[in-house]
A = this chain, B = another copy of it.
């Protein structure tokens, strides 16, 4: 047991009943997200980075079945012996597995069979919850947080898939939105953050991933964060002023990426037939809302924009130091299945929350915290082995299940990836 609970600190967990309710609610959201999908919609994979919706639904169940039921429920029999090979994502310790870029070829098992798998795992889990909650409550919590991460991926993967379809289908009808009528981007107001020695990392007051630990001190020079996210309107100016064609604004790798891929706008943008721009959403193609936060930009684009704006990206520590005092459940986050999209920030006297809307690229490479140790065993592969080549993002997005994210939360992606709801908030030295 020690080997498993290691990565998820010892705390007093919720009661079995509370855990069961929590479990049921999170599991239900996954199915609600997949409800509008046909068997084919749930099966296709639009690129190696993405996974089919059906695969997400099965994989998160495999996680519970493997690390909870198989490992901790005596006498449990696998739903299907052949499925772990299909639904293991990347756990080397769990043996060989189906090649990631071929997930879209798994037309069998069908969506219905996967839903039956989910029902069977849920039945076993809930049935055994009194015992399980005690023996491996934190592992269950890990599994639920894992499922929430896949809920976000399910949405962004689906958006990517539908964007590849010339018919541009909608998953859900568009929500009525207040279209903004601002002519000019609102000027940025700079908010000074805490400097000097600050504490960073999870303090152990609730669930956290191993990569957020241990808490440790860092020394921050004086800095300020922008009180608002960069918007589509800001981005249009960057484009208009030749941002994508000015080598001097870009990191060397970023410039090579722009040239190689012919990048000239955020992902999911296209020029509209009668001028202007459109962006693809979970409700199909829509006119670009210039007051909304920009999304679907890569780290390279975020960094180039910051250079163009005479600013820089915040470090993950700066962001966390400021965010620590905020409610992480605030802002635009995922509450229920529907056409989530970044929303215009309300810019009044008070600054809008740092959380939600779009993941914010930081200038921090994703590396382990001092004294970080990955857990032994398969669960130790959860975060630690990805600590090279990626950058940290903070804050959650409109597609992050509310309650999932916190100030110490470290999301990470490669600098060219941009199919998540990724945006940016500027920072500067004081």
A residues near B (Cβ < 8 Å) are 38-44, 46, 82, 85-86, 90, 92-93, 98, 102, 104-111, 161, 164-167, 169, 197, 216-219, 221, 247-248, 250-255, 299-300, 303, 363-365, 367-368, 370-371, 381, 385-389, 391, 415, 429
A82-B167, A167-B82 are known contacts. Are A105 and B371 too (CB-CB below 8 A)? no
A92-B248, A166-B85, A429-B371 are known contacts. Are A217 and B219 too (CB-CB below 8 A)? yes
Please state if B388 and A415 are interface contacts (CB–CB under 8 Å).
yes
Selected A-B contacts with CB under 8 Å, 26 pairs = A38-B108, A39-B39, A40-B40, A40-B42, A40-B43, A40-B110, A40-B111, A43-B43, A43-B44, A44-B105, A90-B252, A92-B255, A107-B165, A218-B218, A221-B371, A251-B386, A251-B387, A252-B385, A252-B386, A252-B388, A255-B385, A303-B388, A363-B368, A365-B365, A370-B429, A388-B391
| A312: nearest chain-B partner, CB-CB | B368
**Complex Cα gap A108–B254 (Å):** 32
**Complex Cα gap A105–B161 (Å):** 7
Please state if A41 and B251 are interface contacts (CB–CB under 8 Å).
no
* Min CB gap A302→B, angstroms: 11
Please state if B254 and A388 are interface contacts (CB–CB under 8 Å).
yes
Residues of B within 8 A of A300 (CB): 388
**Complex Cα gap A212–B300 (Å):** 23
Residues of B within 8 A of A389 (CB): 253, 389, 415
**Complex Cα gap A355–B255 (Å):** 34
* Min CB gap A193→B, angstroms: 13
A107-B40, A221-B216, A365-B365 are known contacts. Are A166 and B98 too (CB-CB below 8 A)? yes
**Complex Cα gap A90–B387 (Å):** 29
Residues of B within 8 A of A105 (CB): 44, 46, 161, 164-165
**Complex Cα gap A415–B253 (Å):** 14
Please state if A102 and B164 are interface contacts (CB–CB under 8 Å).
yes
